[in-house]
Amino acid sequence: MVKVTDTMLRDAHQSLLATRMRTEDMLPIAPLIDEIGYWSVEMWGGATFDTCLRFLKEDPWERISKLRKVMPNTHLQMLLRGQNIVGYRHYSDDVLIKFIERAHARGIDVFRVFDALNDTRNMEMAMRTVKRLGAALEASISYTISPVHTIEGFVKLGSKLEEMGANTICIKDMAGLISPHDAYDLVKGLKEETSVPIHLHSHMTSGMALTSYLKAIEAGVDIVDTAISALSMGTSQPPTESLVAMLRGTEYDTGLDLKKLAEISEYFNEVRKKYHDFESKTTAIDTDVLIFQIPGGMMSNFATQLKEAKQEHKIHDVLEEVPRVRADLGYVPLVTPTSQIVGTQATLNVITGQRYKSCTNETKNLVRGMYGKTPAPISAEIRKKIIGDEKPITVRPADLLPPEFERLAAEVKQYARGEEDVLSYALFPQVAIDFFKEREMMEKGTNAREIAAIAALFVAQAEKRSKAKKSAQGGEVDMWKMAARRESVNGGGWIL
Ligand code: CO
Protein backbone atom coordinates (compact mmCIF):
# COMPACT_ATOMS: atom_id res chain seq x y z
CA MET A 1 0.00 0.00 0.00
CA VAL A 2 1.40 3.35 -1.05
CA LYS A 3 0.72 6.33 1.19
CA VAL A 4 0.07 9.83 -0.03
CA THR A 5 1.01 13.31 1.12
CA ASP A 6 -1.05 16.03 -0.53
CA THR A 7 0.68 19.36 -1.08
CA MET A 8 -2.42 21.38 -1.99
CA LEU A 9 -2.07 23.71 0.98
CA ARG A 10 1.65 24.49 0.51
CA ASP A 11 3.85 23.45 -2.40
CA ALA A 12 1.02 23.24 -4.95
CA HIS A 13 -0.07 26.85 -4.54
CA GLN A 14 3.53 27.95 -3.97
CA SER A 15 4.37 26.45 -7.37
CA LEU A 16 1.29 27.62 -9.26
CA LEU A 17 -0.14 30.67 -7.49
CA ALA A 18 2.91 32.39 -5.99
CA THR A 19 1.92 31.02 -2.53
CA ARG A 20 -1.00 33.41 -2.36
CA MET A 21 -3.77 31.11 -1.16
CA ARG A 22 -5.40 32.53 1.93
CA THR A 23 -6.41 30.56 5.00
CA GLU A 24 -10.06 31.52 4.48
CA ASP A 25 -9.97 29.60 1.18
CA MET A 26 -8.56 26.50 2.87
CA LEU A 27 -10.90 26.25 5.82
CA PRO A 28 -14.23 25.45 4.12
CA ILE A 29 -12.84 22.32 2.47
CA ALA A 30 -10.49 21.26 5.30
CA PRO A 31 -13.02 18.93 7.01
CA LEU A 32 -13.35 16.93 3.80
CA ILE A 33 -9.57 16.84 3.35
CA ASP A 34 -9.45 15.51 6.90
CA GLU A 35 -11.64 12.54 5.88
CA ILE A 36 -9.38 11.33 3.06
CA GLY A 37 -6.80 9.40 5.02
CA TYR A 38 -3.64 11.02 3.70
CA TRP A 39 -0.32 10.12 5.30
CA SER A 40 0.02 13.87 5.80
CA VAL A 41 -1.05 17.19 4.32
CA GLU A 42 1.69 19.71 3.72
CA MET A 43 0.37 23.14 4.70
CA TRP A 44 3.15 25.30 6.16
CA GLY A 45 6.76 26.34 5.73
CA GLY A 46 8.58 27.08 2.51
CA ALA A 47 7.36 30.45 1.27
CA THR A 48 4.03 30.41 3.14
CA PHE A 49 5.42 32.19 6.18
CA ASP A 50 6.90 35.02 4.14
CA THR A 51 3.84 35.58 1.92
CA CYS A 52 1.44 35.47 4.86
CA LEU A 53 3.20 38.41 6.52
CA ARG A 54 4.26 40.27 3.40
CA PHE A 55 1.28 40.04 1.10
CA LEU A 56 -1.68 38.40 2.76
CA LYS A 57 -1.38 40.28 6.05
CA GLU A 58 -2.25 37.08 7.87
CA ASP A 59 -0.53 35.81 10.96
CA PRO A 60 1.24 32.67 9.68
CA TRP A 61 1.09 31.09 13.14
CA GLU A 62 -2.68 31.30 13.25
CA ARG A 63 -2.98 29.35 10.02
CA ILE A 64 -1.68 26.26 11.84
CA SER A 65 -4.18 26.56 14.69
CA LYS A 66 -7.10 27.19 12.35
CA LEU A 67 -6.32 24.15 10.20
CA ARG A 68 -5.48 22.04 13.22
CA LYS A 69 -8.92 22.69 14.65
CA VAL A 70 -10.81 21.52 11.57
CA MET A 71 -8.39 18.72 10.65
CA PRO A 72 -8.00 16.74 13.88
CA ASN A 73 -7.34 13.41 12.13
CA THR A 74 -4.66 14.40 9.66
CA HIS A 75 -0.95 14.89 10.17
CA LEU A 76 -0.04 18.45 9.34
CA GLN A 77 3.35 18.77 7.68
CA MET A 78 5.74 21.67 7.24
CA LEU A 79 8.88 22.26 5.20
CA LEU A 80 11.82 23.55 7.22
CA ARG A 81 15.08 24.73 5.63
CA GLY A 82 17.26 23.49 8.48
CA GLN A 83 19.25 26.33 9.96
CA ASN A 84 17.60 28.73 7.44
CA ILE A 85 14.21 27.95 9.11
CA VAL A 86 11.86 29.54 6.56
CA GLY A 87 14.05 32.55 5.84
CA TYR A 88 17.03 33.27 3.67
CA ARG A 89 19.99 33.26 6.02
CA HIS A 90 21.29 31.12 8.85
CA TYR A 91 19.71 31.77 12.22
CA SER A 92 21.17 31.11 15.63
CA ASP A 93 20.25 27.89 17.41
CA ASP A 94 18.05 29.56 20.01
CA VAL A 95 15.83 31.12 17.33
CA LEU A 96 15.64 27.82 15.43
CA ILE A 97 14.72 25.84 18.56
CA LYS A 98 12.02 28.30 19.63
CA PHE A 99 10.60 28.30 16.11
CA ILE A 100 10.23 24.53 16.03
CA GLU A 101 8.77 24.47 19.54
CA ARG A 102 6.13 27.03 18.64
CA ALA A 103 5.27 25.35 15.33
CA HIS A 104 4.85 22.04 17.13
CA ALA A 105 2.78 23.60 19.90
CA ARG A 106 0.48 25.10 17.27
CA GLY A 107 -0.04 21.70 15.68
CA ILE A 108 2.66 20.69 13.20
CA ASP A 109 3.11 16.89 13.35
CA VAL A 110 5.64 16.23 10.60
CA PHE A 111 8.75 18.32 10.05
CA ARG A 112 10.44 17.84 6.68
CA VAL A 113 13.94 19.15 7.24
CA PHE A 114 16.38 19.83 4.42
CA ASP A 115 19.54 21.75 3.63
CA ALA A 116 20.23 23.28 0.23
CA LEU A 117 23.82 21.98 0.26
CA ASN A 118 23.00 18.61 1.85
CA ASP A 119 25.34 19.65 4.66
CA THR A 120 23.95 17.63 7.58
CA ARG A 121 25.54 20.02 10.09
CA ASN A 122 22.91 22.55 8.99
CA MET A 123 20.15 20.03 9.75
CA GLU A 124 21.51 18.67 13.01
CA MET A 125 19.97 21.12 15.49
CA ALA A 126 16.60 21.14 13.75
CA MET A 127 16.53 17.35 13.68
CA ARG A 128 17.50 17.05 17.30
CA THR A 129 14.81 19.51 18.36
CA VAL A 130 12.06 17.76 16.37
CA LYS A 131 13.09 14.45 17.97
CA ARG A 132 13.11 15.92 21.45
CA LEU A 133 9.55 17.20 20.99
CA GLY A 134 8.41 13.77 19.87
CA ALA A 135 7.21 15.01 16.48
CA ALA A 136 7.75 13.05 13.26
CA LEU A 137 11.14 13.79 11.77
CA GLU A 138 11.43 13.55 8.01
CA ALA A 139 14.98 14.29 6.86
CA SER A 140 15.54 15.16 3.21
CA ILE A 141 18.05 14.57 0.50
CA SER A 142 18.09 17.59 -1.84
CA TYR A 143 18.20 15.79 -5.18
CA THR A 144 20.15 17.25 -8.04
CA ILE A 145 22.15 16.14 -11.07
CA SER A 146 25.82 17.04 -11.48
CA PRO A 147 29.15 15.35 -12.16
CA VAL A 148 29.76 15.03 -8.40
CA HIS A 149 26.32 13.70 -7.41
CA THR A 150 25.76 9.95 -7.64
CA ILE A 151 23.11 7.47 -6.56
CA GLU A 152 25.68 5.94 -4.17
CA GLY A 153 26.38 9.36 -2.65
CA PHE A 154 22.69 10.00 -2.04
CA VAL A 155 22.21 6.55 -0.52
CA LYS A 156 25.12 7.22 1.82
CA LEU A 157 23.53 10.50 2.82
CA GLY A 158 20.29 8.61 3.49
CA SER A 159 22.09 6.23 5.85
CA LYS A 160 23.59 9.17 7.67
CA LEU A 161 20.17 10.81 8.08
CA GLU A 162 18.81 7.58 9.51
CA GLU A 163 21.69 7.48 11.97
CA MET A 164 20.84 11.04 12.96
CA GLY A 165 17.36 9.89 13.94
CA ALA A 166 15.16 10.38 10.87
CA ASN A 167 11.79 8.62 11.11
CA THR A 168 11.35 8.87 7.35
CA ILE A 169 13.68 9.93 4.56
CA CYS A 170 12.49 12.19 1.77
CA ILE A 171 14.02 12.41 -1.67
CA LYS A 172 13.35 16.06 -2.35
CA ASP A 173 13.45 16.54 -6.10
CA MET A 174 12.57 20.22 -6.02
CA ALA A 175 13.11 20.89 -9.72
CA GLY A 176 11.39 17.77 -11.02
CA LEU A 177 14.59 16.40 -12.54
CA ILE A 178 14.51 12.81 -11.37
CA SER A 179 14.07 10.33 -14.21
CA PRO A 180 12.10 7.10 -13.76
CA HIS A 181 15.23 4.96 -13.83
CA ASP A 182 17.14 7.12 -11.37
CA ALA A 183 14.10 7.16 -9.09
CA TYR A 184 14.06 3.37 -9.23
CA ASP A 185 17.78 3.03 -8.48
CA LEU A 186 17.80 5.61 -5.70
CA VAL A 187 14.77 4.16 -3.91
CA LYS A 188 16.12 0.65 -4.31
CA GLY A 189 19.46 1.73 -2.85
CA LEU A 190 17.83 3.51 0.08
CA LYS A 191 15.54 0.54 0.79
CA GLU A 192 18.56 -1.74 0.89
CA GLU A 193 20.71 0.48 3.09
CA THR A 194 18.14 1.95 5.48
CA SER A 195 15.17 0.62 7.39
CA VAL A 196 12.95 3.70 7.53
CA PRO A 197 10.08 4.54 5.13
CA ILE A 198 11.15 6.42 1.98
CA HIS A 199 9.15 9.41 0.75
CA LEU A 200 9.47 10.81 -2.77
CA HIS A 201 8.79 14.47 -3.56
CA SER A 202 8.96 15.66 -7.15
CA HIS A 203 7.43 18.21 -9.51
CA MET A 204 5.72 17.80 -12.89
CA THR A 205 7.93 20.53 -14.38
CA SER A 206 9.77 18.22 -16.78
CA GLY A 207 6.79 15.92 -17.33
CA MET A 208 8.46 12.87 -15.78
CA ALA A 209 7.21 12.86 -12.19
CA LEU A 210 4.22 10.52 -12.42
CA THR A 211 6.26 7.96 -14.33
CA SER A 212 9.13 8.36 -11.89
CA TYR A 213 6.67 7.76 -9.05
CA LEU A 214 5.57 4.50 -10.62
CA LYS A 215 9.16 3.27 -10.94
CA ALA A 216 9.88 4.41 -7.38
CA ILE A 217 6.78 2.51 -6.21
CA GLU A 218 8.06 -0.61 -7.96
CA ALA A 219 11.34 -0.13 -6.12
CA GLY A 220 9.48 0.02 -2.81
CA VAL A 221 8.90 3.69 -2.07
CA ASP A 222 6.46 4.07 0.85
CA ILE A 223 5.02 7.57 0.44
CA VAL A 224 4.72 9.97 -2.50
CA ASP A 225 3.80 13.66 -2.75
CA THR A 226 0.92 14.58 -5.02
CA ALA A 227 -1.43 17.54 -5.35
CA ILE A 228 -5.18 17.45 -5.78
CA SER A 229 -5.75 17.68 -9.56
CA ALA A 230 -7.10 21.25 -9.53
CA LEU A 231 -3.73 22.36 -8.12
CA SER A 232 -1.47 19.86 -9.88
CA MET A 233 0.66 19.68 -13.03
CA GLY A 234 2.85 22.43 -14.45
CA THR A 235 5.48 23.25 -11.84
CA SER A 236 3.35 21.61 -9.13
CA GLN A 237 3.10 17.94 -8.10
CA PRO A 238 1.47 15.14 -10.14
CA PRO A 239 -2.29 14.81 -9.61
CA THR A 240 -3.44 12.80 -6.59
CA GLU A 241 -6.43 11.31 -8.41
CA SER A 242 -4.29 10.00 -11.29
CA LEU A 243 -1.98 8.24 -8.88
CA VAL A 244 -4.91 6.77 -6.97
CA ALA A 245 -6.52 5.48 -10.18
CA MET A 246 -3.20 4.22 -11.52
CA LEU A 247 -2.62 2.00 -8.50
CA ARG A 248 -6.19 0.85 -7.96
CA GLY A 249 -6.58 -2.91 -7.59
CA THR A 250 -2.83 -3.51 -7.34
CA GLU A 251 -0.77 -4.38 -4.30
CA TYR A 252 0.09 -0.68 -4.10
CA ASP A 253 -3.55 0.52 -3.91
CA THR A 254 -3.68 3.78 -1.91
CA GLY A 255 -7.22 3.08 -0.71
CA LEU A 256 -8.18 6.73 -1.18
CA ASP A 257 -11.73 7.60 -2.23
CA LEU A 258 -11.76 9.11 -5.72
CA LYS A 259 -15.23 10.58 -5.29
CA LYS A 260 -14.22 12.56 -2.23
CA LEU A 261 -11.04 13.66 -3.97
CA ALA A 262 -13.12 14.86 -6.92
CA GLU A 263 -15.18 16.97 -4.54
CA ILE A 264 -12.05 18.60 -3.12
CA SER A 265 -10.75 19.23 -6.61
CA GLU A 266 -14.00 20.83 -7.68
CA TYR A 267 -13.75 23.19 -4.74
CA PHE A 268 -10.18 24.25 -5.61
CA ASN A 269 -11.09 24.67 -9.27
CA GLU A 270 -13.31 27.52 -8.16
CA VAL A 271 -10.83 28.91 -5.63
CA ARG A 272 -8.04 28.96 -8.19
CA LYS A 273 -9.95 31.42 -10.39
CA LYS A 274 -9.75 33.97 -7.61
CA TYR A 275 -5.95 33.88 -7.82
CA HIS A 276 -5.81 34.26 -11.58
CA ASP A 277 -3.42 37.19 -11.40
CA PHE A 278 -0.81 35.05 -9.69
CA GLU A 279 -0.91 32.08 -12.05
CA SER A 280 2.55 30.81 -12.92
CA LYS A 281 3.51 31.23 -16.57
CA THR A 282 4.69 27.64 -16.69
CA THR A 283 1.64 25.47 -16.69
CA ALA A 284 2.66 22.88 -19.26
CA ILE A 285 5.99 21.09 -19.72
CA ASP A 286 9.00 23.27 -19.10
CA THR A 287 11.60 22.37 -21.71
CA ASP A 288 14.14 24.69 -20.10
CA VAL A 289 14.33 22.45 -17.09
CA LEU A 290 14.97 19.45 -19.34
CA ILE A 291 17.75 21.20 -21.24
CA PHE A 292 19.29 23.63 -18.73
CA GLN A 293 18.05 22.09 -15.46
CA ILE A 294 16.76 25.50 -14.52
CA PRO A 295 13.24 25.50 -13.10
CA GLY A 296 10.63 27.88 -14.45
CA GLY A 297 10.55 30.07 -11.37
CA MET A 298 14.21 30.91 -11.78
CA MET A 299 13.74 31.58 -15.45
CA SER A 300 11.20 34.32 -14.80
CA ASN A 301 13.59 35.86 -12.25
CA PHE A 302 16.29 36.07 -14.91
CA ALA A 303 13.90 37.70 -17.31
CA THR A 304 13.00 40.36 -14.70
CA GLN A 305 16.62 41.01 -13.70
CA LEU A 306 17.72 41.35 -17.32
CA LYS A 307 14.81 43.59 -18.15
CA GLU A 308 15.76 45.93 -15.32
CA ALA A 309 19.27 46.14 -16.78
CA LYS A 310 17.79 46.57 -20.27
CA GLN A 311 19.63 43.46 -21.45
CA GLU A 312 16.73 41.15 -22.26
CA HIS A 313 18.51 39.89 -25.36
CA LYS A 314 21.16 38.24 -23.19
CA ILE A 315 18.86 35.61 -21.69
CA HIS A 316 20.61 32.86 -23.61
CA ASP A 317 24.02 33.91 -22.34
CA VAL A 318 22.67 33.76 -18.79
CA LEU A 319 21.26 30.28 -19.36
CA GLU A 320 24.68 29.13 -20.44
CA GLU A 321 26.40 30.93 -17.59
CA VAL A 322 24.26 29.30 -14.87
CA PRO A 323 25.80 25.80 -15.14
CA ARG A 324 29.29 27.36 -15.24
CA VAL A 325 28.69 29.38 -12.08
CA ARG A 326 27.14 26.35 -10.44
CA ALA A 327 30.24 24.29 -11.30
CA ASP A 328 32.51 27.08 -10.00
CA LEU A 329 30.59 27.18 -6.73
CA GLY A 330 30.98 23.47 -6.05
CA TYR A 331 27.89 22.09 -7.85
CA VAL A 332 25.41 23.28 -5.25
CA PRO A 333 21.88 21.88 -5.70
CA LEU A 334 19.61 24.64 -7.00
CA VAL A 335 17.00 25.23 -4.31
CA THR A 336 16.26 28.24 -2.08
CA PRO A 337 18.56 29.99 -1.25
CA THR A 338 21.29 28.60 -3.55
CA SER A 339 19.15 28.88 -6.68
CA GLN A 340 18.85 32.64 -6.14
CA ILE A 341 22.57 32.99 -5.40
CA VAL A 342 23.71 31.14 -8.53
CA GLY A 343 21.05 32.76 -10.73
CA THR A 344 21.85 36.31 -9.62
CA GLN A 345 25.59 35.78 -9.93
CA ALA A 346 25.23 34.34 -13.44
CA THR A 347 23.15 37.34 -14.44
CA LEU A 348 25.76 39.73 -12.98
CA ASN A 349 28.55 37.94 -14.82
CA VAL A 350 26.72 38.39 -18.11
CA ILE A 351 25.61 41.98 -17.54
CA THR A 352 29.06 43.22 -16.47
CA GLY A 353 30.72 41.19 -19.21
CA GLN A 354 33.40 40.06 -16.78
CA ARG A 355 33.04 37.00 -14.63
CA TYR A 356 32.98 37.71 -10.86
CA LYS A 357 33.99 41.33 -11.39
CA SER A 358 30.99 42.17 -9.32
CA CYS A 359 29.81 39.66 -6.71
CA THR A 360 26.79 39.68 -4.44
CA ASN A 361 27.29 39.35 -0.70
CA GLU A 362 25.51 36.00 -0.87
CA THR A 363 27.99 34.67 -3.42
CA LYS A 364 30.83 35.80 -1.17
CA ASN A 365 29.24 34.16 1.85
CA LEU A 366 28.75 30.92 -0.04
CA VAL A 367 32.47 30.91 -0.91
CA ARG A 368 33.31 31.84 2.69
CA GLY A 369 31.57 28.63 3.78
CA MET A 370 28.80 30.52 5.55
CA TYR A 371 26.12 28.30 3.99
CA GLY A 372 28.01 25.10 4.77
CA LYS A 373 30.19 22.73 2.81
CA THR A 374 29.65 22.71 -0.94
CA PRO A 375 29.25 19.29 -2.64
CA ALA A 376 32.55 19.79 -4.50
CA PRO A 377 35.39 22.02 -3.32
CA ILE A 378 35.63 25.52 -4.80
CA SER A 379 38.91 25.99 -6.67
CA ALA A 380 41.53 28.36 -5.24
CA GLU A 381 41.40 30.42 -8.39
CA ILE A 382 37.64 31.06 -8.22
CA ARG A 383 37.84 31.65 -4.48
CA LYS A 384 40.50 34.29 -4.94
CA LYS A 385 38.42 36.07 -7.58
CA ILE A 386 35.45 36.23 -5.23
CA ILE A 387 36.85 36.75 -1.71
CA GLY A 388 40.53 37.51 -2.32
CA ASP A 389 42.80 36.23 0.43
CA GLU A 390 40.05 35.67 2.99
CA LYS A 391 40.05 32.23 4.57
CA PRO A 392 36.76 30.30 4.41
CA ILE A 393 35.34 28.85 7.62
CA THR A 394 35.26 25.10 8.15
CA VAL A 395 33.05 24.84 11.23
CA ARG A 396 29.25 24.49 11.31
CA PRO A 397 28.13 27.99 10.24
CA ALA A 398 25.65 28.40 13.11
CA ASP A 399 28.48 27.83 15.61
CA LEU A 400 29.60 31.35 14.77
CA LEU A 401 26.22 32.86 15.55
CA PRO A 402 25.68 34.04 19.13
CA PRO A 403 22.19 33.57 20.61
CA GLU A 404 19.97 36.29 19.18
CA PHE A 405 16.46 35.70 20.51
CA GLU A 406 16.72 37.98 23.57
CA ARG A 407 18.28 40.79 21.58
CA LEU A 408 15.56 40.54 18.93
CA ALA A 409 12.84 40.41 21.59
CA ALA A 410 14.18 43.66 23.06
CA GLU A 411 14.35 45.28 19.63
CA VAL A 412 10.74 44.54 18.79
CA LYS A 413 9.31 44.99 22.30
CA GLN A 414 7.05 47.81 21.19
CA TYR A 415 5.11 45.61 18.77
CA ALA A 416 5.58 41.98 19.75
CA ARG A 417 2.84 40.32 21.73
CA GLY A 418 4.70 37.10 22.37
CA GLU A 419 7.45 34.75 21.29
CA GLU A 420 5.82 34.05 17.95
CA ASP A 421 5.89 37.71 17.01
CA VAL A 422 9.57 37.86 17.94
CA LEU A 423 10.20 34.86 15.68
CA SER A 424 8.30 36.49 12.80
CA TYR A 425 10.46 39.56 13.34
CA ALA A 426 13.65 37.47 13.50
CA LEU A 427 12.85 35.99 10.10
CA PHE A 428 11.52 39.04 8.24
CA PRO A 429 12.32 42.17 10.27
CA GLN A 430 10.85 44.96 8.16
CA VAL A 431 7.96 42.94 6.83
CA ALA A 432 7.01 41.84 10.34
CA ILE A 433 7.06 45.40 11.71
CA ASP A 434 4.77 46.55 8.90
CA PHE A 435 2.50 43.63 9.67
CA PHE A 436 2.39 44.43 13.38
CA LYS A 437 1.56 48.07 12.66
CA GLU A 438 -1.24 47.17 10.31
CA ARG A 439 -2.57 44.61 12.73
CA GLU A 440 -2.79 47.27 15.40
CA MET A 441 -4.53 49.67 13.06
CA MET A 442 -7.07 47.04 12.08
CA GLU A 443 -7.85 46.42 15.71
CA LYS A 444 -8.27 50.02 16.77
CA GLY A 445 -11.98 50.66 16.67
CA THR A 446 -12.34 54.06 15.07
CA ASN A 447 -9.53 53.57 12.66
CA ALA A 448 -10.89 50.24 11.55
CA ARG A 449 -14.24 51.87 10.86
CA GLU A 450 -12.65 54.48 8.66
CA ILE A 451 -10.62 51.90 6.84
CA ALA A 452 -13.68 49.74 6.48
CA ALA A 453 -15.68 52.54 4.92
CA ILE A 454 -12.95 53.27 2.39
CA ALA A 455 -12.40 49.58 1.82
CA ALA A 456 -16.08 48.95 1.18
CA LEU A 457 -16.05 51.58 -1.51
CA PHE A 458 -12.85 50.25 -2.98
CA VAL A 459 -14.04 46.67 -3.05
CA ALA A 460 -17.27 47.61 -4.76
CA GLN A 461 -15.38 49.55 -7.42
CA ALA A 462 -12.71 46.93 -7.84
CA GLU A 463 -15.29 44.23 -8.29
CA LYS A 464 -17.05 46.27 -10.91
CA ARG A 465 -13.77 46.78 -12.73
CA SER A 466 -12.90 43.13 -12.36
CA LYS A 467 -16.15 42.06 -13.96
CA ALA A 468 -15.68 44.46 -16.82
CA LYS A 469 -12.16 43.28 -17.44
CA LYS A 470 -11.78 40.21 -19.60
CA SER A 471 -8.15 39.41 -18.88
CA ALA A 472 -6.25 40.14 -15.71
CA GLN A 473 -3.27 41.52 -17.56
CA GLY A 474 -3.59 45.06 -16.23
CA GLY A 475 -3.32 43.58 -12.78
CA GLU A 476 -4.87 46.58 -11.05
CA VAL A 477 -7.32 44.41 -9.13
CA ASP A 478 -5.54 42.49 -6.51
CA MET A 479 -7.77 39.65 -5.41
CA TRP A 480 -5.98 38.85 -2.20
CA LYS A 481 -5.79 42.47 -1.20
CA MET A 482 -9.48 42.66 -1.75
CA ALA A 483 -10.01 39.65 0.44
CA ALA A 484 -7.85 41.18 3.14
CA ARG A 485 -9.91 44.35 3.02
CA ARG A 486 -13.11 42.39 3.10
CA GLU A 487 -11.89 40.74 6.27
CA SER A 488 -11.18 44.07 7.87
CA VAL A 489 -14.57 45.31 6.75
CA ASN A 490 -16.31 42.35 8.30
CA GLY A 491 -14.25 42.78 11.46
CA GLY A 492 -15.39 46.40 11.68
CA GLY A 493 -19.00 45.38 11.40
CA TRP A 494 -19.54 46.72 7.91
CA ILE A 495 -21.63 44.63 5.65
CA LEU A 496 -21.09 44.87 1.92
CO1 CO B 1 8.71 21.10 -3.92
pLDDT tens figures, 257-309: 999 999 999 999 999 999 999 887 766 777 777 777 776 567 767 777 788 88
What is the C-alpha separation between 228 and 223, in angstroms, rounded?
Answer: 16
Q: pTM of this prediction?
A: 0.87
Summarize pLDDT for 324-360 with one digit per residue, the tens.
999 999 999 888 788 889 989 999 999 999 999 999 9
pLDDT of residue 148: 95
Q: Which of 257, 249, 187 is nearest to 223 (CA)?
A: 187
Cα 236 to ligand 1 centroid, rounded to whole Å:
7
What's the gap in Å between 318 CA and the centre of ligand 1? 24
Comparing 315 with 157, the larger pLDDT belongs to 157
User: 412 phi and psi, to 5 degrees?
Assistant: -110, 15
Q: Which pLDDT score, from 0 to 100, does residue 175 have?
A: 87
Phi/psi at 76 (5° precision): -90, 135
Encode pLDDT of 433-446 as tens digits. 999 999 988 887 65
Rounded percentage of the chain residues whose pLDDT exceeds 70 = 88
* Per-residue pLDDT, 283: 63
CB 52 within 8 A of CB 14: no
- Residue 259's pLDDT is 98
Distance 219 CA to ligand 1 centre (A): 22
Query: Could you report the per-residue pLDDT of 354-387, keeping only the tens digit for each?
Result: 999 999 999 999 999 999 999 999 999 999 999 9
Cα of 228 to ligand 1 centre, how many Å? 14
Distance 281 CA to ligand 1 centre (A): 17
Res 53: pLDDT = 95
| Closest alpha carbon to 53 in 428, 376, 470 | 428
- Is the separation of the CB atoms in 241 and 228 below 8 Å? yes
* Residue 450's pLDDT band (cuts 50, 70, 90): low
Comparing 89 with 415, the larger pLDDT belongs to 415
Q: Is the pLDDT of residue 61 over 90?
A: yes
d(CA 271, CA 230): 9
Separation between Cα atoms, residue 92 and residue 149, nearest integer Å: 29
- Cα–Cα distances in angstroms (integers) from residue 276 to residues 66, 271, 334, 433, 481, in the given order: 25, 9, 28, 29, 13
Which pLDDT belongs to residue 464?
Answer: 60
pLDDT for residue 58: 95
- Separation of CA 202 and ligand 1 centre (Å): 6
**Rounded (5°) CA angle 64-224-334:** 80
More confident residue, 20 or 469: 20
Q: What is the mean pLDDT of the chain?
A: 89
- Span from the CA of 64 to the centroid of ligand 1 (angstroms): 20
Q: What is the pLDDT of residue 490?
A: 36
Residue 12 CA to ligand 1 centre (angstroms): 8
Given a cut of 80, whether residue 119 has pLDDT beyond it is yes
Amino acid 365: pLDDT: 94
The alpha carbon of 333 and the centre of ligand 1 are apart by a number of angstroms equal to: 13
pLDDT band at 467 (very low <50, low <70, confident <90, very high): low
